[in-house]
Amino acid sequence: MYTVHDSVKGQIQFTDRKRYFWLASIVLPLIPLAVIYGYYQVGSPWMLLLPLVIAYVMIPILDHLGGVDKTNPPEEIVPLLDADPYYKNLLKMSIPLHFVVVILSAWFVGIEPLPVWAILSFAMTAGMYSGACINTAHEIGHKNSKEDRLWARISLAVCGYGHFCIEHNLGHHRDVSTPEDPASSRMGENIYSFAMRELPGAAKRGWMAERDRLARKGHGFWSVHNHILQSYSLTLLFQGALVIAFGWPVLLFLVVHNFFAWMQLTSANYIEHYGLLRMRKDNGKYERCQPHHSWNANHLFSNLMLFQLERHSDHHANPARPFQSLRSFEDLPELPAGYFTMYLIAYFPPLWFKVMNQRVVDLPHIQGDFSKINLDPKRAEELKARYSVSG
């Protein structure tokens, strides 16, 4: 229990009832290990598809049963929550676990005579859960200390996405919910078109941001000071050692694993800002990012699995605020379900458009004004004609 004394309100007490349930964020990336164990118990490669059932059936059901949680810690308590090392230690504990899971998965692929389809399916599902390493880096990479940002680069080495932190902090947070941001999806843009724009666009922006950062500090681009190269070098050493140790089938596994880990970030980016737009001010600059420029979700179970990533509205308005202190607000753009459900819906574009397009148009701060929507320019006129009349 946290306790503070306020001169006006008197003694304020708060207990984080989710304190130990946050361990679910550490359990999530361990699921591939449970599947390997199940494979040896059942003896069938079809067991390797179980993570798909967990992600897209079990977690959505638990989200539905658990409902939403809109409670916020008292602001007077937030400094105590932020200073509690327990929460940061959870993040750091998850990082070696990501490495262990990939090592044991590579060992499994290397020693078992699996058919190619089984290697591909296991790589895909293992990569889905390894995508959590990017979420860990996302949370810890917003901290100010050099140690924390080093941990973030190490975490990104698990799946070879070393440009993420610099791109996210210096690019996405600057350009979010504008047409200039490759990591903000546009209304009418399907997730596959978005991925083809976001993956190379974010990588390019990350490299350019790191080039500029190094230049400001007087360092050369090809140097030990390059944070992206540090992370990529660790990926090369780590994954190269796995291929050498366990054989060439592991190379196929890792390529597919890495791509599907990246796609988890792309899926999150797609649903988090779909169609939302920051307005330009008279001076040509965009308005400051506000909570209504991100889609929010308060679904209890999936937030516990993702270090409360789904309270994305507060995160973008207040990037330095730790996950345990993120708040829910009234009148936010609210997703109708948690992330795992929304990912699955997004993979079927007609269904996504049916669920989300009218929801964008009807938002309180938009109310049918298409000048306030980030529209896919290729479909802008079609979308205006279709959704101009509500219903």
At 183-195, the pLDDT tens digits run 999 999 999 999 9
Of 170, 167, 363, nearest to 266 by C-alpha is 167
Residue whose entry in the numeric block shows the structure tokens 């400001």: 216
- Give the burial class of 107: count Cβ atoms within 10 A of its Cβ; 0-12 exposed, 13-18 middle, 19 or more buried: middle
pLDDT higher than 50, residue 382? yes
Look at residue 326 and tell me if it is in a domain: yes
Look at residue 378 and tell me if it is in a domain: no
Q: What is the pLDDT of residues 63-101, one digit of tens each?
A: 999 999 999 998 989 999 999 999 999 999 999 999 999
As a whole number of angstroms, the distance between CA 77 and CA 305 comes to: 23
As a whole number of angstroms, the distance between CA 76 and CA 9 comes to: 10
- Give the burial class of 40: count Cβ atoms within 10 A of its Cβ; 0-12 exposed, 13-18 middle, 19 or more buried: exposed
Secondary structure (3-state) at 19: coil
Calculated CA dihedral for residues 197, 201, 203, 208, nearest 10 degrees? 180
Distance of CA 300 to the CA centre of its chain: 16
How many residues in the chain?
Answer: 391
Please state the domain count of the chain: 1
Return the pLDDT at 152. 95
Q: What is the pLDDT of residues 318-339, one digit of tens each?
A: 998 999 999 998 889 999 999 9
Return the pLDDT at 282. 86
Look at residue 385 and tell me if it is in a domain: no
Q: Which of 226-235, 238-247, 304-313, 382-391 has the lowest mean pLDDT?
A: 382-391
Look at residue 389 and tell me if it is in a domain: no
Look at residue 288 and tell me if it is in a domain: yes
More confidently predicted of 281 and 349: 349
Return the pLDDT at 3. 86
Of 12, 3, 90, 24, nearest to 322 by C-alpha is 90
Q: What percent of the chain has pLDDT over 90?
A: 85
Q: Which residues contact 195 (CB under 8 A, 6 or more apart)?
A: 263, 266, 270
Mean pLDDT computed over every residue of the chain: 93
Q: Which range in 120-134, 140-154, 344-358 is most confidently predicted, on average pLDDT? A: 344-358
Look at residue 386 and tell me if it is in a domain: no
As a whole number of angstroms, the distance between CA 176 and CA 190 comes to: 18
Residue whose entry in the numeric block shows the structure tokens 């730790």: 322
Is 374:184 a contact under the CB 8 Å cutoff? yes
pLDDT higher than 60, residue 390? no
pLDDT higher than 90, residue 49? no
Of 372, 325, 363, 253, nearest to 82 by C-alpha is 325
**Residue 2 — pLDDT band, cuts 50, 70, 90?**
confident
Look at residue 365 and tell me if it is in a domain: no
Is 298:311 a contact under the CB 8 Å cutoff? yes
Return the pLDDT at 389. 60
Q: Which structure tokens are listed for 53?
A: 């059932």
Q: Which of 34-38, 41-45, 244-248 has the lowest mean pLDDT?
A: 41-45
Distance of CA 269 to the CA centre of its chain: 7
**What is the pTM assigned to this prediction?**
0.93
Look at residue 372 and tell me if it is in a domain: no
Is 225:217 a contact under the CB 8 Å cutoff? yes
Return the pLDDT at 48. 87
**Residue 47 — pLDDT band, cuts 50, 70, 90?**
confident
Q: Which structure tokens are listed for 208?
A: 């350019």
Q: Which domain holds residue 344?
A: 2-349
Return the pLDDT at 331. 87
pLDDT higher than 70, residue 231? yes
Q: Which structure tokens are listed for 73?
A: 């810690």
Is 174:208 a contact under the CB 8 Å cutoff? no
pLDDT higher than 90, residue 199? yes
**Residue 11 — pLDDT band, cuts 50, 70, 90?**
confident
Beta bridge partners of 299: 68
Return the pLDDT at 391. 41
Query: Which CA distances in Å does 317 have to 70, 143, 144, 291, 326?
Result: 17, 15, 17, 6, 10
More confidently predicted of 168 and 43: 168
Cα dihedral 119, 120, 121, 123 sign: positive
pLDDT higher than 70, residue 298? yes
